[in-house]
Amino acid sequence: MNPVYINSAACISVQDTLNENFLENLKPEYSTLVLKAIEPVYKEFIPPAMIRRMSKTVKMSSVASHYALKEAGIENPDAIIVGTGIGCSQDSEKFLKNVLDNNEEFLTPTYFIQSTHNTVAGQIALGLQCHAYNFTYVNTSSSLEFSFLDAKLQIIDGDAENVLVGSTDEQTERTMELYKLNKTIKKEEDLPVDYLNSETHGVVWGEGASFFVLGKEKAVNCYAQLKDIQIVNVLELGETQDFIKEFLNKNNLANTNIDAVILGFSGDSKSDVYYNKVTELFTGSSLLYYKHLSGEFNTASGFSTFIACHILKNQEIPEVMMINDLKKGEIRNILLYNHLGGNDHSLVLLGKV
């Protein structure tokens, strides 16, 4: 199978990931239930008249995609593919509030039009005047992975040479209230969070947007090779290790060939047991975690993919991400494993170029 390369990576997150030296300044967060993204000055990228009509996820995605395309030296991609879990929920909430406040009468359609999940991909295409393949995946925590899989197939089949792939999710006040009520988000008394040895349910919620340009050809500043992706909706705890082993066998790799494993420990004692099962397989690898830096959200794996790209390129692992103290001399293969609340499990294999 022909290789597919990640030629650029950009991220807006809870960390200052637009800063070139962000790896040196990663700050974990243990005592806040809802983490807000560090946003850029949007008027530097988007006309002020348009900013007012854009939800947060559209604004974050517009800027992150701008950085990704600029770094890859691509003006117009051959396809735009975006993954999101809850889409433009700000505009959805505004529309529903209007319905209630106005007794279902005299409603302006703007919020409804902008509330659809594919608004992000559509707005990016409009800004670029790109008439190519445009698709949005809404598959909870594996939305980005489905987007990667689609882009990889587009490139391998010869339908595209450069594909803009992104993931994005925003927070909204009402949704966060509901997540606290249904115990998706932890209680105040459960703080500070022990992400690796938690005895309580629920997570710390975050947000962000991560965009990548996947290419047929390796660019000068290429980050990594996207080797393979595996997704499964339901996985029994006892099947976790076999799920990993089968994936590695398919790629002709042994456990010892994986130099670093990035796991999505979220501080939820009920679902983090899956990650504990995986650590048992990789006693000779660097074990890393990241949701103490990004928070949990539907497309948090975009943050881990962005970090993994920088680890492969710079051959350096941030100390704040280390679970164990093992570091190999050369990092050639990184395995990313993620799920959300024990559902929608995904594996992504990245290789050094």
Whether residues 239 and 335 share a domain: the answer is yes
CATH number at residue 318: 3.40.47.10
Whether residues 124 and 206 share a domain: the answer is yes
Which of 168, 191, 215 terminates a domain? The answer is 215
| Mean pLDDT in consecutive groups of 10 residues from the start of the chain, 353 residues | 90 96 94 96 90 89 97 97 88 78 79 80 94 96 97 96 97 92 96 96 97 97 97 97 97 97 97 97 97 98 98 97 95 98 97 97
Q: Which domain holds residue 269?
A: 226-351
User: In this structure, is residue 249 part of a structural domain?
Assistant: yes
Residue 165 main-chain phi, psi, to 5 deg:
-120, 135
The percent of residues in the chain predicted with pLDDT above 90, rounded, is 86
**Contact by Cβ (8 Å): 286, 260:** yes
Give the tens place of pLDDT for each residue, 150-190.
999 999 999 999 999 999 999 998 899 999 999 999 999 99
Give the tens place of pLDDT for each residue, 151-161.
999 999 999 99
Angle at 290 between CA 149 and CA 327, to 5 degrees: 95
**Contact by Cβ (8 Å): 245, 277:** no
**Contact by Cβ (8 Å): 120, 88:** yes
In three-state secondary structure terms, 305 is helix
User: In this structure, is residue 221 part of a structural domain?
Assistant: no
Pairing of strands 343-351, 333-340: antiparallel
**Contact by Cβ (8 Å): 223, 7:** yes
Residue 255's nearest CA partner among 351, 348, 353, 333 is: 333
Query: CA–CA separation, 195 vs 339, rounded Å?
Result: 15
Which of 187, 215, 243 terminates a domain? The answer is 215
Residue 232, both tokens: 């499964």
pLDDT of residue 1: 58
Residue 313's nearest CA partner among 334, 327, 293 is: 334
User: In this structure, is residue 220 part of a structural domain?
Assistant: no
